[in-house]
Structure 1
Amino acid sequence: MLSPRLRHPDLVIDFVEALVGQSGLDALTIRALTTASGFSNGAIYRTFGSRGGLIGRMWIRAESRFLELMKGLIAQAHNPFDAAVAAAETSLVYLQRYPKSAAVLFTVRREEALSLPMSIEIGDQLRALDDELVAIMSQLAKNLWKRNDAETVDLVAACILDLPKWVALRNMRLGTYLGSVYLRATIRAILEVGPPPLVPHHEVLPEEPAYRVLL
């Protein structure tokens, strides 16, 4: 008799995040997950299909949470400058709100996590999330400097992904308040300098994956 699908797959993903965030991807085996969660391996396979499916679903949830939080913070800003600073603070807020998801996104390389075979559906969802982030960064760049060439979008990515990740990873030592103060000061200084001069006829989006915060 086939094991039934799980009614609450998010509960399994919680355990997946805990295992991966604490001990890395190698720690995630179906046996370890079964032991930690109490769910049968048959039910896990029926729900997620494979270990790659588990990791893909974990990543989709973590990235979706990150983007929804970022969009909410941006929506509260009163001007483009504050919107970029708010986007940069997403990583710190995310760390507080979703510590297990943050441990995965900020410490595990996305390329490594998504190297396993996954379904077409999961791949499509991951690409859609990446496209959504590129669109957010492009819009921030346009609102700030009325341009969205590769260099400008890369600068936005550094401000809202790379630097916040660095601060978030050290947040335990710095403390939430001080880390946020350092981050805001750094981002504001970079935004005031702005992007490099625009090369004529070179308004394109970056070709590399946008989620450098995950690399």
Structure 2
Amino acid sequence: MTTPEHDRPATRTGRAVGRPRRHDRGALLDHARDLWVERGTAGVTIRALSSASGVSNGAIYNAFTSRDGLLAAVWTREAAHFLDFQYAAVDRARAEDGSAADTVVAAALAPARYAASNERAAHLLLAVRPDDLVTPELTDEQRHELLELRKVLGELIVRLADAQWGRRDRNAVTLIRYCIVELPGALLLRGGGLLDPVAHHALEHAVRGIVSAPPPPRG
């Protein structure tokens, strides 16, 4: 059975993530994502995925070329969906006449909002960075997909820094990265978890505090 188009997410560049195979690729990626969240990276093996999905080891290797390729495919699918959600949250905050600070808060809280409908994916994206997944085992295409998604996130960070302070230098970009990448991971992956309103409150007010003053002067 070929994979439906909606199981092959496109990044904001319009490029499809992955190719259709002669099985339900989307279901395989769902199983692999669940194994990853439940058992950690070490728990995502070809054998474990074969057992969970009923698809043969050989078919899984043919689909993803390696275990590292499988991990990259899971992450890129989830990240592509999430980045569209995050961009939409920022655009919605702006359309509602929000301040520049409101758009940064919207981006920071996007993982928590996303978790309301897709908690496993949100958890995975906060816990794992694309650089963690770039290995020599990846094909050029798989490596390119990871780097493209990192680029899309970087573009959002620059856009938010420019809107907040009219600056795109390293200090401004670093502060926005703290707000929408580092702080959500630190606050939402501990305590009450992704759906914890106390963590959401702390995250919002930490972000507002950071953006309330301009970054240090350009070095």
TM tier, shorter chain?
Answer: 0.7 to 0.9
Deviation, 1:95, is 2.6
Deviation, 1:114, is 3.1
Q: Is the 8 A contact 2:130 2:150 kept in 1?
A: no
Number of residue pairs matched by the alignment = 196
Corresponding position: 1:27 with 2:43: yes
Partner residue in 2 for 1:104: 124
Q: Is the 8 A contact 1:16 1:33 kept in 2?
A: yes
Change (3 A) 1:109 1:73: closer
Deviation, 1:116, is 5.2
Given the two structures, how large is their TM-score scaled by the length of structure 2?
A: 0.82
Partner residue in 1 for 2:54: 38
Deviation, 1:157, is 0.3
Distance 2:82 2:205 in 1: 22
Partner residue in 1 for 2:103: 83
Partner residue in 2 for 1:142: 162
Distance 1:174 1:120 in 2: 34
- Where 1:98 maps in the other structure, the secondary structure is helix
Q: Is the 8 A contact 2:115 2:194 kept in 1?
A: no
Partner residue in 2 for 1:162: 182
Partner residue in 1 for 2:70: 54
Pick which of 105-114 and 16-25 moved more: 105-114
1:1-38 Cα shifts (integer Å, max 9, x gaps): xxx94432111111111111111222121111111111
Distance 1:132 1:174 in 2: 23
Distance 1:15 1:63 in 2: 16
Q: Is the 8 A contact 1:21 1:107 kept in 2?
A: no
Percentage identity across paired residues of the two chains? 32
Partner residue in 1 for 2:192: 172
Q: What is the root-mean-square deviation of aligned Cα atoms in Å?
A: 2.0
Q: Is the 8 A contact 1:24 1:108 kept in 2?
A: no
1:52-103 Cα shifts (integer Å, max 9, x gaps): 2211111111211221111010011133221111001012123333222223
Given the two structures, how large is their TM-score scaled by the length of structure 1?
A: 0.83
Change (3 A) 1:65 1:131: same
